[in-house]
Amino acid sequence: MAFKSVLVSALATLSYASPLLHLRSNNDTTFVFTNSNGLNFTQMNTTLPNVTIFATGGTIAGSGSSSTATTGYTAGAVGVLSLIDAVPGMLDVANVAGVQVANVGSEDVTSDILISMSKKINRLVCDDPTMAGAVVTHGTDTLEETAFFLDATINCGKPVIIVGAMRPSTAISADGPFNLLEAVTVASSPKAKNRGAMVVMNDRIASAYYVTKTNANTMDTFKAIEMGYLGEMISNTPFFFYPPVKPTGKVPFDISNVTEIPRVDILFSYEDMHNDTLYNAVDSGAKGIVIAGAGAGGVTTSFNYAIEDVINRFDIPIVQSMRTVSGEVPLSDVSSDTATRIASGYLNPQKSRILLGLLLAKGRNVTQIADVFALGTNA
């Protein structure tokens, strides 16, 4: 057994130190190497790490009517091989394979797509010792939700980088190509290991657990306002501000046996909020509900009574989050002696929805769900 371990280690070392095998020439997209999982590479230089790009569409793969069109474009018009061809410099960083998971605007990314993609990354990247990391190209509108899902369900320590663009590929000064190059660079870096999933855009490296889209239009939109960035890119070189660390409250999930995520609805809090929206969600089949509350999870007095009624009568977990772009909903602001109330802590409504859906998929009850959310909240 010891000899076998030494042999495997030696072979792994040779796989990274052995000489050049197949180099891509000119702009040839012919596949010159296929690995044991069927992933196709247009070059295989064994002195470089291997990275797989999982493409889902979005603005980074978008096409507009003119070079100045940054709105009204078609998302997901460009395939993964075209994305790779557009950034030949990435082949100086890594050997890259592409997997087309979907090609849609991010609003059309479903839980089925997320489950399938997570399982693919676990199988094709995590379980393959020759793979350094993964990159996921994605539309920006729901990018943080996918990033949070992958952060929770891929726990092998290899970097998973989610990347997008705010300008379509046809625009002047499109940000997608350089974002993609930086994403592949971070996915290839040994310094990126054991940091969970990360979002790399606009020269910034952010934790998928915390980052959120803060502006509908500008390129510097993804930020973790209170928590800060993990690092930055300078001349396509990653610099991390801190050693690897797990965010407070993060819970890993094994979804190898999960086939679907139960329905979780988000309801927005506002003045004169109507209780029937809550009961309509229950009647429509929601198995969990997240409230985007005013301030630190606030709702009207009448709606507050309706929350307790739904929890106690239907045994449905309700998480109170915030409609503000940052901040915390502490447990003390929503706790009750008559119902099991759940505070989102620092998770915004969209990330609370992902976490609640995963917990329901794993069969957790209201009390168990409350205990998990409590890990990331103050008293």
Residue indicated by tokens 């930055």? 232
Three-class SS state of 254: coil
Is 59 a residue of the active site? yes
Residue indicated by tokens 């054991």? 194
CB-count burial class (<10 Å; 0-12, 13-18, 19+) for 317 = buried
Crossing angle between the packed helical segments 301-314 and 276-283, to the nearest 10 degrees: 20
Hey, what are 115's tokens? 């489950």
Q: b or e along 278-303 (b: 16 or more beta carbons within 10 Å of the residue's beta carbon)? A: beebbeeebbbbbbbbbebbbbbeeb
Select which of 42, 70, 137, 140 is catalytic. 140
Give the CA dihedral 281, 58, 179, 87, nearest 10 degrees. Answer: 160
Is 140 a residue of the active site? yes
The reply, when asked if residue 140 is annotated as ligand binding, is yes
Closest C-alpha to 135, from 226, 61, 28: 61
Select which of 42, 46, 56, 59 is catalytic. 59
| Residue 88 φ/ψ, nearest 5 degrees | -60, -25
The reply, when asked if residue 68 is annotated as ligand binding, is no
The reply, when asked if residue 221 is annotated as ligand binding, is no
β-pair partners for 163? 137
Annotated binding site: 106, 140-141
Annotated binding-site ranges for substrate: 106, 140-141
Which residues form the catalytic set? 59, 140
